[in-house]
């Protein structure tokens, strides 16, 4: 009998963090600051996360569809909360902290207009098999007094920028 492998919580967490951070960094590059863009990015992130959670929970097609719908609604609300300036603060802090922050030191940002804030803390530095400098990190984002934490890995690109790899 061929059984399908159910992803572990750790695998799901890594996938969700990668997706959320990649979409956040990509959204920071988008031009304009329309509410529609924030809602779409947040909705897409939430939908993907909800689908992964539904699949991992073994809910079959109905669980996946339910997860996508609920995740899309919740993610749209969160995406709507972070404006372009918030994403710029986040991206600047992430790039600076990953480039020059010591392991364990925390870089932080706060948008004085929205009140949203966050942190970036490198937790491990190493070289990838291809020789790229890479850093594992913890990041937080606080919106309306609610803080979410994520973990990931970023590697320095040839142009000197840091890119989330998982």
9/5 Cα distance (integer angstroms): 12
Helix and strand totals (H; E) in the chain: 4, 5
Supply the pLDDT for residue 103: 97
Interval 83-104: pLDDT, tens:
888 888 988 999 999 999 999 9
57/60 Cα distance (integer angstroms): 8
> What residues have CB less than 8 Å from 112, skipping those under 6 apart?
none
The tokens for 54 are 């539904």
Helix, strand or coil for residue 160?
coil
Supply the pLDDT for residue 49: 53
Helix, strand or coil for residue 156?
strand
Element (H, E) at 78: helix 60-81
Tens place of pLDDT per residue across the chain (166 aa) = 445 454 444 454 445 545 555 555 544 444 444 444 455 555 555 555 555 555 555 555 555 555 555 555 445 445 555 788 888 898 899 999 999 999 999 999 999 999 999 999 999 999 999 999 999 999 988 988 888 888 889 999 999 999 888 7
Supply the pLDDT for residue 161: 92
Give the pTM. Answer: 0.56
Which of left, alpha, beta for 115 (phi over 0: left; psi -120 to 50: alpha)?
left
* Closest by Cα among 147, 145, 136 to 18: 136
Supply the pLDDT for residue 15: 52
């Amino acid at each position: 009998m061929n059984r399908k492998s159910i992803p572990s919580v750790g695998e799901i967490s890594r996938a969700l963090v990668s997706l959320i951070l990649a979409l956040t960094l990509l959204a920071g590059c988008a031009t304009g600051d329309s509410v529609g863009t924030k809602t779409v990015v947040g909705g897409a992130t939430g939908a993907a996360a909800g689908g992964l959670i539904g699949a991992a929970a073994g809910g079959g097609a109905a669980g996946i569809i339910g997860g996508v719908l609920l995740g899309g609604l919740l993610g749209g609300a969160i995406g709507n909360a972070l404006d372009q300036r918030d994403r710029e603060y986040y991206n600047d802090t992430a790039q600076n902290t990953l480039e020059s922050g010591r392991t364990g030191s925390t870089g932080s940002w706060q948008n004085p207009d929205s009140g949203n804030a966050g942190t970036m803390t490198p937790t491990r530095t190493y070289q990838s098999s291809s020789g790229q400098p890479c850093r594992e990190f913890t990041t937080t984002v606080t919106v309306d007094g609610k803080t979410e934490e994520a973990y990931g890995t970023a590697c320095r690109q040839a142009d000197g920028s840091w890119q989330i790899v998982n």
